[in-house]
A and B are shown apart, each in its own frame.
Chain A
Amino acid sequence: MKTREIVRVADTGLFVACGSTENEKFRALRRDANREGGFVIPERVHEELVGTPEEYDPAQGITASVDQSMEEGWVEMYGGIDYTNPKVSGAMDVTRRYIADVTDRSEHDIEKADAALSAVAVQILEEGEDVGLVELYTTDKPAGEGCVKAAEAVGYEAKVEFVYAFDYVD
């Protein structure tokens, strides 16, 4: 039987936790990506990682490590979300509601883009028949847990797994 593919989706916090290219945690991440498979990042995450104002100095090292990992080919951006797909938009709504609930905010305070991880996860499952599992690597527990619930709500039960990035990195 053919092994079903695992797709790994990474959030901003994973790269922040791994630091600059000289950091041992970044090297370990690269080794793991080479062994177990690379990561895809939502467009929104890419914007967060590379679109920082220059005056915030500590971000420069992280931006450089993301640029380098993309050049090396083990991190790819996942764009072109089809928001007209009801499963994608439905998953985003569930995630937004979940984030609002656990962070004690109104749903209006949670932007559509905050649910970008769930949109990417569900679209990957919609597009890839061979995909057995999507793993979400994030430090954002509300979003991570929300995505799992959202995927279930649109019919992808046990197809999305939340990996707390600190447990993975440490």
Chain B
Amino acid sequence: MPTQKNAGSAVRDMLSIADVLNNPDMARVYAYVAKTAEEETSEEGVTVEEITNELDIPQATAYDYVGRLADASLVSKQGEARPYGYTAEEVNLKLTKDGNEYTVSPELIDAVSRRGENRNIDAYIDRHGVGGVATALEYAERYVDSEMNHRLMARELDVSPIEAETILQELRKIILEHLQKHE
């Protein structure tokens, strides 16, 4: 049963996830930890040094991001001795609006983390915000399941068909990568 303490903790988690979604570099750190820890299937996790080298982020910034992600329980510290490794916790924040349930998923964080390197995602966020990507992701899930197409999405969201198809194809790649991870 939800307690008052749980409510506070849920709101803190929500704010931390909002931080991640508003900060592509922090999203990249989270996505990198999630991806690498899964690939290596190592219990030791990823160190800050690896993050610094791989993502080309200054060490002080990497420490700051990892600390904030750890405070938010999005990553957890492994081992007893330095250098500590970090593994990612699965994000699955459910929001309810107007009776409908929406999910902040690892796929959304992954999409946001690609902002700097992927101009299609970059352009979509510029035009429709992170919230717009979350909506597009719902369409993309159904597109992957062969239950949606770009024409319907374009009409329902008032975007051009080519823009709908472009973001659907980008998000499809992310969804398929995450599906493979869980196979």
CB-CB under 8 A from A49, the residues of chain B are 162
CB distance A109 to B149 under 8 Å?
no
Q: Mark B157-172, 1 if CB is under 8 A from A, else 0.
A: 0001111011011001
Interface size class of A (residues with CB under 8 A): 20 to 34
Query: What is the distance, in angstroms, from A58's C-beta to the closest C-beta of chain B?
Result: 5
Main secondary structure of the interface of B (DSSP, over half): helix
CB distance A102 to B146 under 8 Å?
yes
CB distance B146 to A141 under 8 Å?
yes
Query: What is the distance, in angstroms, from B76's C-beta to the closest C-beta of chain A?
Result: 36
Q: Among A12-20, A27-35, A69-77, A79-87, which stretch is in contact with chain B?
A: A12-20
CB distance A13 to B165 under 8 Å?
yes
Query: What is the distance, in angstroms, from A12's C-beta to the closest C-beta of chain B?
Result: 6
CB-CB under 8 A from B127, the residues of chain A are 55-56
Q: Mark B132-172, 1 if CB is under 8 A from A, else 0.
A: 00000000001000111111100100001111011011001
Provide 11 A-B residue pairs closer than 8 Å at the C-beta atoms, listed in order of the A residue: A52-B160, A57-B119, A58-B119, A58-B163, A58-B166, A103-B152, A105-B152, A110-B152, A111-B155, A114-B149, A143-B149
Q: Which residues of B contact A (CB under 8 A)?
A: 119-120, 123, 127, 142, 146-152, 155, 160-163, 165-166, 168-169, 172
